[in-house]
Amino acid sequence: MAKPNAKGPVRIVQIYCSKCKFQLFKYRKGGKGALVKCFKERIVEDFTHEEGICPSCDAQFARNALIRGAPALKIVGTKVTMK
C-alpha cells in the first residue's frame, strides 16, 4: 500500500484543542478536506506531553493508529480545530 507523500504537502496548519483552544501541534497538511488523521512524520512541532491527550484540559483528541502502514493519530470526533 502507498505511504503518505513526505514531499507533497507544503501547507503548515496549526492544530488546536476545540475544548480549551490550546495549541497541540503544527502539521504539514495535504489536500483541502477536514483533518481526520495526522501522520506522525508530518508533525513539525508537537506541544503535547502524551500522544492524543491535550495537556491543558486532559481531553483525548486522538488515538494511535496504523494507516497504510504508517504510524498516525486518528482524530476522535471533532476534537480539534485548524487555523
Model confidence over 1-36: pLDDT tens digits?
A: 556 565 665 789 999 998 899 999 999 988 888 888
Q: With respect to residue 6, please indicate whether it lies within any of the assigned structural domains.
A: no
Residue 4 lies in a domain: no
The model's pTM: 0.79
Residue-wise burial string across 17-40, b where 16 or more C-beta atoms lie within 10 A, e elsewhere: beeeebebbbbbbeeeeebeebbe
**Through-space distance between the first and last CA atoms of the chain, rounded to whole angstroms:** 30
Instruction: Note down the domain range covering 70.
Output: 12-82
- Number of structural domains, the chain? 1
Supply φ then ψ for residue 21, to 5 degrees. 65, 25
